[in-house]
Amino acid sequence: MKLIQRLGINTLFFSKKDKRLAASIKVMMGSRPFNIALYKLALTPSGIAEETMKGFKISNERLEFLGDAILGAVIAEYLFQKYPYRDEGFLTETRSKLVNRESLNSTGIKIGLKNVLNLEIGDRNFIGNKSLYGDVLEAFLGAIYLDKGYHFTKKFILKRILLHFDLEGMIATVTNYKSKIIEWSQKENKSIEYKVLHVHGNQRFKEFIVALEIDGEETSQGKGSTKKKAEQEASKNACDLLKITQ
Amino acid sequence: MKLIQRLGINTLFFSKKDKRLAASIKVMMGSRPFNIALYKLALTPSGIAEETMKGFKISNERLEFLGDAILGAVIAEYLFQKYPYRDEGFLTETRSKLVNRESLNSTGIKIGLKNVLNLEIGDRNFIGNKSLYGDVLEAFLGAIYLDKGYHFTKKFILKRILLHFDLEGMIATVTNYKSKIIEWSQKENKSIEYKVLHVHGNQRFKEFIVALEIDGEETSQGKGSTKKKAEQEASKNACDLLKITQ
């Protein structure tokens, strides 16, 4: 089977449309796809998926789940290696900034998914589905993983996806939750106060627990190895709770 | 370097303690560790980590971040292959049920991390750190990944970790958020009501948006392809918001 795929014999049995699709995927991926059915599935957003019996829809959502996990692992290793002196909080936050709907969407368009998608399903209307290309990109990564394995997918992500992400720019925009809360409180005319509730530990290892009070009522808590970190976490929790986004 | 590692020549330079550690890791992992320093780092919980200059602590937390991502990817593929007819909602929920602190903790103890940890850092007191073994397990997976690569780690997870998870049992306990909310409302003496706000779409593809009102006030919303799913999501969001856990 491997030999047949390597010699490209399987493409002899592709339909004309599939051959065209395989060719454009090759341009995008840098390598000929083996199992074209996987890529076709990845290019099937749930909005246009056919419903089979028992209400089960064959769409790219399952592949998206897989691709999302693989992307997460590859980015985790990349950041781990790239920033040897940053702690896991930084790594986690940077990853979630990198792998968000918006950046995946624009990257999907940049690497040419729009054209491939047009080729496969025509120029249908997808108004309302804002994360179409990001979803398709993740599903596409899932398809590559199943078709070509982990190492190929990792190389593909590192060489063709990551360069579209503005890593340094994203890291520079550190979210300062405390200043968000202060801004919000001034706009909403509320008083805020941070109170240290506990300090655990010894000289070597400390843990602060801080409560954030809004108008005298405790809204959230946070903990961290410094007072500043604990305040940040409490502020972040309050932002989540109160749905403060900007 | 590879040859030296394969012949085990590098172990000649291990200290006596390291040799003992390498031997017990071999029992657990089924293969000799190459880079013992990685495993030693994985066995360094942040509570006992030495602080180096500039307040940077060398602990297993970074490895934990990496191991968590690798574990997520492997479990994602496993579930994807095992349940070809389940949708991504099921896959996502099953994974988060599998990979929780509790199950990782007990698995960490079962595969023998307690003994290895005792060997490395002695019988120190870790009261208060409830997720110690789960954290160490994830860090350990990160170390295996860096030491042995993706395929070895995947095999290790599938053969030595997954069998400790009660997969079928976890799937059977589907969390019914709506019944949770109803139970809570009876206990707290509140009235609840589900209201369909919108129905988008056509005959083939529908989307319901449902609001959950508690005592006449809208608390949360949910959407889904059926009214039932939308109600579940609204209930889940309300549970998160109101911190209803049992």
Contact at 8 Å (CB) between A232 and A222?
Answer: yes
Structure tokens at A121: 């399903």
CB burial string A21-60: b at 16+ within 10 A, e below: bbebbeebbeeebbebebbbbbbbbbbebeeeeeeebebb
CATH label of the domain that carries residue B216: 3.30.160.20
Of A223, A222, A232, the closest CA to residue A201 belongs to A223
Domain boundary among B122, B140, B172: B172
User: Are residues A165 and A224 part of one domain?
Assistant: no
B240 a catalytic residue: no
- Tell me whether residues A85 and B56 touch, CB distance under 8 A: yes
User: Are residues B154 and B85 part of one domain?
Assistant: yes
A111-165: per-residue pLDDT in tens? 988 888 887 777 666 655 678 889 999 999 999 999 999 999 999 999 999 988 8
Domain of B238? 177-242
Residues of B in contact with A141 (CB under 8 A): none
User: Are residues A196 and A121 part of one domain?
Assistant: no
Active-site residue, from B18, B51, B68, B87: B68
User: Are residues A67 and A53 part of one domain?
Assistant: yes
- Tell me whether residues A77 and B145 touch, CB distance under 8 A: yes
Could you give the CA distance from residue A121 to residue A45 in angstroms, rounded to a whole number? 10
- Tell me whether residues A73 and B77 touch, CB distance under 8 A: no
User: Are residues A229 and A207 part of one domain?
Assistant: yes
User: Are residues B188 and B146 part of one domain?
Assistant: no
- Tell me whether residues A73 and B73 touch, CB distance under 8 A: yes
Nearest-Cα residue of chain A relative to residue B146: A77
Structure tokens at B22: 């390498």
User: Are residues B146 and B108 part of one domain?
Assistant: yes
pLDDT value at residue A205: 66
Could you give the CA distance from residue A142 to residue A41 in angstroms, rounded to a whole number? 10
Could you give the CA distance from residue B208 to residue B239 in angstroms, rounded to a whole number? 20
Of residues A33 and A48, more confidence is placed in A33
User: Are residues A108 and A208 part of one domain?
Assistant: no
Domain boundary among B115, B142, B172: B172
A138 a catalytic residue: yes
Task: Burial-class residue B223 by CB neighbours within 10 Å (0-12, 13-18, 19+).
Answer: middle
Number of domains in chain A: 2
Could you give the CA distance from residue A237 to residue A180 in angstroms, rounded to a whole number? 12
**Residue A246 confidence (pLDDT) above 60:** no
3-state secondary structure chain B: CHHHHHHCHHHHHCCHHHHHHHHHHHHHHCCCCCCHHHHHHHCCCHHHCCECHHHCECCCHHHHHHHHHHHHHHHHHHHHHHCCCCCHHHHHHHHHHHCCHHHHHHHHHHCCHHHHHHHHHCCCCCCCCCCHHHHHHHHHHHHHHHHHCHHHHHHHHHHHHHHHCCHHHHHHCCCCHHHHHHHHHHHHCCCEEEEEEEEEECCCCEEEEEEEEECCEEEEEEEECCHHHHHHHHHHHHHHHHCCCC
User: Are residues B60 and B118 part of one domain?
Assistant: yes
Least CB–CB distance from A66: residue in B57, B61, B76: B76
> Residues of A at the annotated binding site for Mg(2+)?
64, 135, 138
Chain-centroid distance of CA A164 in Å reads: 13
Cβ of A193: how many Cβ atoms within 10 Å?
11
Per the rule left: phi > 0, alpha: psi between -120 and 50, beta: everything else, B216 is: left
| ipTM (interface predicted TM) | 0.72
Could you give the CA distance from residue B225 to residue B79 in angstroms, rounded to a whole number? 23
B137-185: per-residue pLDDT in tens? 999 999 999 999 999 999 999 999 998 887 777 777 656 788 788 888 8
Lowest mean pLDDT among A22-31, A121-130, B61-70, B189-198: A121-130
Lowest mean pLDDT among A135-139, B127-131, B229-233: B127-131
How many angstroms separate the Cα of B137 from the Cα of each of A19, A157, B26, B154, B180? 46, 27, 15, 14, 32
User: Are residues A209 and A106 part of one domain?
Assistant: no
CATH label of the domain that carries residue A131: 1.10.1520.10
Residue pairs between chains A and B whose CB atoms are closer than 8 Å: 72
Domain boundary among B157, B172, B187: B172
User: Are residues A150 and A71 part of one domain?
Assistant: yes
What's the gap in Å between the CA of A87 and the closest CA on chain B?
6
User: Are residues A57 and A151 part of one domain?
Assistant: yes
pLDDT value at residue B59: 86
B23-39: per-residue pLDDT in tens? 889 998 988 899 999 99
In sequence order, the 6+-apart residues with CB closer than 8 A to the CB of B93 are B175
